[in-house]
Structure 1
Amino acid sequence: MTPLSILYQDEWLVAIDKPSGLLVHRSEIDRHETQFAIQLLRDQIGRRVYPLHRLDKPTSGVLLFALDSDTAKTCGESWESGVDKTYLAIVRGAPAEEGTIDKPLKEPWDRLGDRNVSKDKPEQPAVTDYRRLATCELPYAVDRYPTARYSLVRVHPQTGRRHQIRRHFKSLSHPLIGDTSYGKSVHNRFFAEQFGVQRLLLHAVEMRLPHPHSGEPLTICAPLTGEVLQLLESLDWLNSIPLEWRKF
């Protein structure tokens, strides 16, 4: 496998640009999978690593690890309140220009990925802010309408529930493109056939946090590359995102 792209590394932290399709760790999602970000990164840098958060298997972008257990504990104690995560997503239709999705979610049970999650665990608060960056209307009858609309949205989850962004946008009837669990297959097939893109169109583009040891602001960016960047170019959406979020 191609070496993981390291976005940031110091004495205490290391961040990678996780590719779509790579699990962070073992999970019931795919019990036959043999490659995981934890093991690949450990072997690549020759050090034990401690994941500080999760990204779904089909989601790409910034994934942060601690390089020692004390740093992992320090980050864990202040993670929710001190970290700002920004995602880019392509969704079906045209959601409101901006909004907040405040909808509690029940944590999916995963015996291997999170042994602390009970099947009977109640719903937990889940809040997602978003802003629509661009919209297009394509002259194709993908679903029941003569044309098809899609939007590029910038997403800021305030909480970190599993599949939160995907489930929240489904609740608005604006599912993410390429989402085989919560999306619509006709739109997924359209993007595969029309643009050659067969992945979930969700990318963790930026993370901001205070450094756990110095307290200084730290910004880690995973610019869009490859097929997703080409897709934005095809849809004439490149100017809708900052230059630092794209890498040709």
Structure 2
Amino acid sequence: MLPQTLTADAGHDRMRLDVFISMRLAPEYSRSQVARMIKAGLVTVNGGIARAASGIRAGDRIDIAAPAANAPLDPDSLRSGAPEIPIVFADDEIIVVNKPPGMTVHPAPGHPDGTLVDALLARFPELATMAEPDGVLRPGIVHRLDKDTSGIMVVARTPFARTALSRQFKERTVRKIYLAIVKGVVARDQLSVERPVGRHPIERKRMSVSSHVPRDAISHFTVLRRFAATKESSGASLIRVRPETGRMHQIRVHLASIGHPCLGDKLYGGAKHGDSDHFDRQALHALALTIEHPRKRDRRQFVAPPPADFVRFLALHDCPIDDQVIARWIDSS
């Protein structure tokens, strides 16, 4: 769709630049994507530098350049070094995957390869054309899971789907269900935690409910099973989690804030104890995701069955899993 030239008319006089462009480029590009275009220097007004908040005038010429082209990708080299990723569903607009634990979603400092993005590009090399408007290659990524959190994720395959899905996450119409196995026997059958989450005031790799710059965060918890304390452990609980918001580390921080961190959570779990020996990562799994299909507009639910470490732990505690059990967990109120 880019590059492109737009001209403002009298009806746009004094409108913010980012609002005008996003209105004209909708639905392929959202306002936040347009803001990144402007910040990356891809937008000029009458040949001059532009700011997102600048007001435009009737007759202004707005030129939008295309981001720098990414280097051509060699499918053979991508496939040879990329991890495998289970595909739950794929059509012309979306790809749904079951992300394994230990996989980072996209390249980051300390995690340059072996990412979900690498796996997607190896399987769907055309996603390379889905660079963000500022040229950053995060093809189709509209939400994330922590590196050591497993489970269901949806990826956009087209700019239209990316905008539609991003809007659903922003407007909180996506229904997300997680499973967590937590330290201790949780007393209440149901509880909600409504505590803002932000960057920890001292430890920058952690998030906290005591942040100086918090953002609203809401999580709903339902106890599915309790595992009694023994001499070797302090007990554990299987929890169904329905987050209303999607803050970084939100579920882990909320669980730790009520004294029941995920088993195996090295960042928020405190001292290790018996049941944590079953997990070398936080015991958190994205079980189900319900979205509106971007093009067909029907509601669809996708499920990623619990991974091997969950299955082993629950089997040891006389809690076998089958499709009917998973369906009950998803639908628990």
| TM-score bin, normalised by smaller chain | 0.7 to 0.9
Partner of 1:113: none
Partner of 2:157: 67
**C-alpha displacement of 1:25:** 1.1
> Take 1:2 and 1:40, find their aligned partners in 2: how far apart are those partners?
5
Asked whether the 8 Å contact 1:16–1:63 carries over to 2, the reply is yes
Q: TM-score with structure 2 length normalisation?
A: 0.63
Asked whether the 8 Å contact 1:52–1:66 carries over to 2, the reply is yes
Q: TM-score with structure 1 length normalisation?
A: 0.83
1:99 is aligned to 2:180: no
1:133 is aligned to 2:224: yes
Counting only pairs closer than 5 Å after superposition, residues 27-106 of structure 1 correspond to structure 2 as 27-28=108-109, 31-48=110-127, 49-79=139-169, 80-95=171-186, 96-106=188-198
Unaligned runs of 5+ in 2: 1-81, 128-138, 202-210, 329-333
Secondary structure, in 3 states, of the residue corresponding to 2:172?
helix
> Take 1:108 and 1:26, find their aligned partners in 2: how far apart are those partners?
23
Asked whether the 8 Å contact 1:107–1:124 carries over to 2, the reply is no
Asked whether the 8 Å contact 2:103–2:148 carries over to 1, the reply is yes
Partner of 2:103: 22
Larger relative strand fraction:
1
Name the structure, 1 or 2, with higher relative contact order (CA <8 Å, separation 6+). 1
CA offsets, 1:56-82, max 9 Å, x none?
Answer: 001000011000122101211222421
Asked whether the 8 Å contact 1:107–1:161 carries over to 2, the reply is no
Asked whether the 8 Å contact 2:227–2:235 carries over to 1, the reply is yes
Which deviates the most, 80-89 or 166-175?
80-89
Secondary structure, in 3 states, of the residue corresponding to 1:61?
strand
Asked whether the 8 Å contact 2:266–2:281 carries over to 1, the reply is no
Identity, % of aligned positions: 28
Match of 1:208 among 290, 293, 310: 290
Q: CA RMSD in A?
A: 2.4
Divergent runs of 4+, >6 A: none
Partner of 2:252: 166
Counting only pairs closer than 5 Å after superposition, residues 167-246 of structure 1 correspond to structure 2 as 167-187=253-273, 190-192=275-277, 195=278, 197-238=279-320, 242-244=324-326
Unaligned runs of 5+ in 1: 110-119, 143-147
**C-alpha displacement of 1:172:** 0.1
> Take 2:161 and 2:182, find their aligned partners in 1: how far apart are those partners?
36
1:9 is aligned to 2:94: no
